[in-house]
Structure 1
Amino acid sequence: MHSAMRGLIRTVLQDVADNGLPGNHHFFITFDTRHPDAQLADWLRERYPEEMTVVMQHWYDNLAVDQDGFAVTLNFGETPEPLYIPYDAIKTFVDPSVEFGLRFETAEDDVEDEQPEDITAPEEDTTTDETAEKTDAEVVSLDSFRK
Structure 2
Amino acid sequence: MTQDLIRYDVLVQDALRGVVRKILAEVAQTGLPGQHHFYISFDTQHPGVRLSSRIRARYPEEMTIVLQHQFWDLTVTDHGFEVGLSFSGIPEKLLVPFVAVKGFFDPSVQFGLQFEVAREGEAKGETKPAEAPAKPVLKPVDTETAQDDVVAPALPAIAPAPAPVEPLKPAAKLADKAEPKPETDVKADAAKDEKPAEPPKATVVSLDQFRKKT
TM-score relative to the length of structure 1: 0.73
| Whole-angstrom distance in 2 between the partners of 1:111 and 1:28 | 27
- The share of aligned pairs that are identical, in percent, is 49
Aligned length, in residue pairs: 114
Between Structure 1 and Structure 2, the one with more strand by share is 1
* Residues 88 and 107 of structure 1: CA distance in aligned 2, closer, same or farther (over 3 Å): closer
Q: Aligned-residue CA RMSD in angstroms?
A: 1.7
* Residues 107 and 31 of structure 1: CA distance in aligned 2, closer, same or farther (over 3 Å): closer
Instruction: Report the CA distance between 1:36 and its aligned residue.
Output: 1.1
Return the letter of the residue paired with 1:92. Answer: G
Structure 1 runs (4+) greater than 6 angstroms displaced: none
Asked which structure has the greater RCO (Cα within 8 Å, sep 6+), the reply is 1
Extract unaligned runs of 5+ from structure 1.
115-147
**Of residues 89, 93, 112 in structure 2, which corresponds to 1:78?**
89
1:113 matched residue in structure 2: 131
Between Structure 1 and Structure 2, the one with more helix by share is 1
Extract unaligned runs of 5+ from structure 2.
1-11, 120-126, 133-214
Who wins on radius of gyration, i.e. which is larger? 2
Return the letter of the residue paired with 1:9. Answer: V
**Of residues 30, 33, 48 in structure 2, which corresponds to 1:37?**
48
* 2:80–2:96 CA contact under 8 A, matched in 1: yes
**Of residues 82, 100, 110 in structure 1, which corresponds to 2:111?**
100
TM-score relative to the length of structure 2: 0.51
Instruction: Report the CA distance between 1:70 and its aligned residue.
Output: 0.1
Q: Deviations over 1:82-122 (max 9, x none)?
A: 000100000000001011000012468954716xxxxxxxx
